[in-house]
Structure 1
Amino acid sequence: MFPGRRNVLLLAASQALMLSAIVLSMSLAAILGATLAPDKSLATLPVAMMVIGTAIASLPAAMLMRRRGRRTGFLMGAALGVAGSTLAAYGLWQGSFALFVLGHLMLGSYQGFANYYRFAAAEAVDASHTTRAIAWVVAGGVVAAFVGPQLAQWGRDWLVSGPFVGSYLAQAALSVAALGLLSQVRLKPAASVAAGTARSVRELLSQPLLLISILGAAVGYSVMIMVMTATPLAMLGCGLPGQSVTPVIQWHVVGMFAPSFFTGHLVKRFGAPRIMQTGFVLLLGHVTVALSGLAFLHFASALVLLGVGWNFAFVGGTALLTQTYRPAEQLKVQAINEFLVFGLVAASSLSAGWLYDRYGWSTLNLAVVPFLALALLASIGTEWKALRLRERT
């Protein structure tokens, strides 16, 4: 293991708890939204609002952590998770779509704060272990593959007040546990991390590597969330039983996070751009499998590919991002990255329900192909230019 391992392990465990809560909602929100919403095309609105909450919270989270430190921001985020889960449970109990959606907005804000765990882990170790620390925190999501969907099903009938109300109360308990772990994290004061001179936003965004890292993470995440959001609806729409959704989501989440145990090593060996490009190719492979049939195995294998492709694109993009800023710029660049990435993710999640309801599963998958092709070509082009520039110098 590496120096700073205590903080990294605490952050990885907190990541596991946060993502278990998010995956629980991903398993249930669209299906429950379809029963609560006044229009079926609004079924994925709770998931979309969760992603919008992530985007909205990203900038205030960075500002708060700059002034009060990482831990204060992380604790506030977990508190939002408790409140959001409780409100979603109450909305479900009352049959209120509006409250259910608002609860998911708050839950997404929790994720907006928690998305800085990976950056905090990178800051907790020396430069030679940065990529490994990021990958370990992202790998905390492997736990979520099993805890999230299982809690969703186990809590279905815990309370007689309504199905799945217990699931969301269990989700709140996950955030309470995260509060306990995060209170034990000890990180550098924000002032020491942010010391030095920072460039302007315009200067920062003039860097091709910064732009391609944001584009890669944004496209990879947007494609993943759009398809994942619509998958439970598509499976039920094809006549598959409701209990078949849980293992598909579970193996998708395993695909998302299990590669993190070796992605950091691959980034160090082959470079972040190559790993991002591999992710885009895997995501294109998902489209091929998704279009090949509508049986359970088609959904399961396609969603595993979707998860692995996301992991390569997201971890590669994050690793590349950490190479584009000075210590004094890290919170500024991280906030820009999170806002832009989750802004695009929010737009894609909003369109998922509408695309599926209006045009179906095949069209929804075909819609992501141009974005993946653009990100792949842009990444290859930027890497080629960077290599040419190094040869000249």
Structure 2
Amino acid sequence: MRNLIFIILGNITLESAVPLLFTVGGLAGLHLAPLAWLATLPIAIQMAAGSVCAIPFSNLMAHYSRRTGFILASMAMIFGGLASATAIYSDSFGLLLGGHFLIGISMIGINFLRFAAAESVPKNRAATATSLLLASGIIGVIIGSELYGRGDSLGFELPFIGIYIIVSVIGGCAVLAFAALDGGLRCSINQQTEADVSKASGFSLIATNRRLFFGIATMVLGHAIMLIVMSTASIASIDYGIGSSETGILIGVHLVAMFAPGVITGMLISRMGANRIILLGAILYLVGFLIGLINEAVMVIIAAPLIFAGLGWNFMFLGGTHIINSMPDGINKVRVQGASETLLASVSTVFALASGGIYGALGWKGLIFVVTTMTLLTIALFCIRALLISNVVDQSD
């Protein structure tokens, strides 16, 4: 329980940087990018860091400790924030990308916190621990939303520098939280079965296990959909004439919607099953996007997709996480964790980068139409899964 408390404290600390980063990332990119459609490139680079680092990060924590990994991730946020602030001062788009790459490493650390939370409690309480961890992010979001408005009051003449300095301070506070963790907290790889020590990669394990494949595929799609919406929301808000402070509030409300349901999601997974919860998340996506498409009120056009994308993401992300956590402890579980984070980061990188081009070419409503189509594809995956299960049952009868 002690480890879970410090994991949650570290999560709250790091999550407080998220509303800052996803609001300032697009705006700082727009400020420095040589071409407008490259405005979301810093966020895409942030996601790309996960593609490169997820598997090594997973292996590092398996062989050393969760504590070591999370401290390194927090230090990456410190240096990433400082590099990004320097980029604004020196008018360097390349340095801004480098800063966001380091920040992306810290974001991978945040993603692995949910696995550490599950490992810090008995298995029958893993879903609840993961849900509580995600729900704790709402506190970080509230703190981060408050800090965003204070970044400009730090006395810097150039925009965004104060916000990136705050991000660095947040990383330093997270180091203190994770330093209190038990150094022995790590993935359990001591009691390995013969299957555990096979040479199969995490990707092949996912591809050959139907439950893992559909659970992780829909989780990855859901994450990509949410990121497309969130990456361009701040730019769209400004283009629609919404002020900077109101834009920060909109992003904050979206993040609250992402984390708040975590209080009950674990209980819902226990009662309904992970797959039904993932499907419910996809339906919430669809509802929010349709409201955004058919409405003409500016705030509703932006807010409805953001809020429902947050709610839907919570269900899809926790549902997929529960499927991974239900695997037996061992090196195969470590490999699947690393592979799933790599898939999340890789797909997110592509769509975070593409989101700028999609928005530039089609506008906000055109972008919402694209994510609506992706949501329908996600729901179609569930229909295919149901048909496959039905065929297996029929053949056994």
What does the per-residue CA deviation read over 1:10-56, in whole Å, with 9 as the maximum and x for residues that have no partner?
11221122122122110111112111111111111111111111222
How far, CA to CA, are the matches of 1:281 and 1:108 in structure 2?
29
- Correspondence 1:116 to 2:112: yes
User: Which residue of 203, 214, 224 corresponds with 1:212?
Assistant: 214
User: Which residue of 70, 73, 83 corresponds with 1:74?
Assistant: 70
Residue 228 of structure 2 is matched in structure 1 by: 226
How far, CA to CA, are the matches of 1:327 and 1:104 in structure 2?
33
Q: How does 1:1-393 map to 2 (within 5 A)?
A: 5-186=1-182, 188=184, 190=186, 192-197=188-193, 198=196, 199=198, 200-201=200-201, 202-291=204-293, 292-383=295-386, 385-386=388-389, 389=392, 392=396
Residue 114 and residue 195 in structure 1: after superposition, are their counterparts in 2 closer, same or farther (change >3 A)? farther
Question: Match of 1:163, as an amino acid?
Answer: P
Q: Is the 8 A contact 2:61 2:187 kept in 1?
A: no
How far, CA to CA, are the matches of 1:174 and 1:80 in structure 2?
11
In structure 1, runs of 5+ residues without a counterpart are none
What does the per-residue CA deviation read over 1:99-157, in whole Å, with 9 as the maximum and x for residues that have no partner?
11211111011111231111011111111101001111111210232222321221113
Once the two structures are TM-superposed, the CA of residue 61 in structure 1 deviates from its matched residue by 0.3
3-state DSSP of counterpart to 2:17: helix
Task: Give the stretch that moved more between structures: 170-179 or 256-265.
Answer: 170-179
Residue 40 and residue 66 in structure 1: after superposition, are their counterparts in 2 closer, same or farther (change >3 A)? same
Q: Is the 8 A contact 1:234 1:361 kept in 2?
A: yes
TM-score by length of 1: 0.94
Once the two structures are TM-superposed, the CA of residue 160 in structure 1 deviates from its matched residue by 2.9
Once the two structures are TM-superposed, the CA of residue 279 in structure 1 deviates from its matched residue by 0.3
Q: Is the 8 A contact 1:57 1:113 kept in 2?
A: no
3-state DSSP of counterpart to 1:160: coil
Q: Is the 8 A contact 1:253 1:307 kept in 2?
A: yes
Once the two structures are TM-superposed, the CA of residue 373 in structure 1 deviates from its matched residue by 1.8
Once the two structures are TM-superposed, the CA of residue 204 in structure 1 deviates from its matched residue by 4.6
TM-score by length of 2: 0.93
Question: Match of 1:212, as an amino acid?
Answer: F
3-state DSSP of counterpart to 2:152: coil
How far, CA to CA, are the matches of 2:390 and 2:10 in structure 1?
38
3-state DSSP of counterpart to 2:182: coil
- Count of residues in correspondence between the two structures: 389
In structure 2, runs of 5+ residues without a counterpart are none
How far, CA to CA, are the matches of 1:47 and 1:303 in structure 2?
17
How far, CA to CA, are the matches of 1:389 and 1:125 in structure 2?
35
How far, CA to CA, are the matches of 1:124 and 1:324 in structure 2?
15
Q: Is the 8 A contact 1:209 1:324 kept in 2?
A: no
Identity %: 26
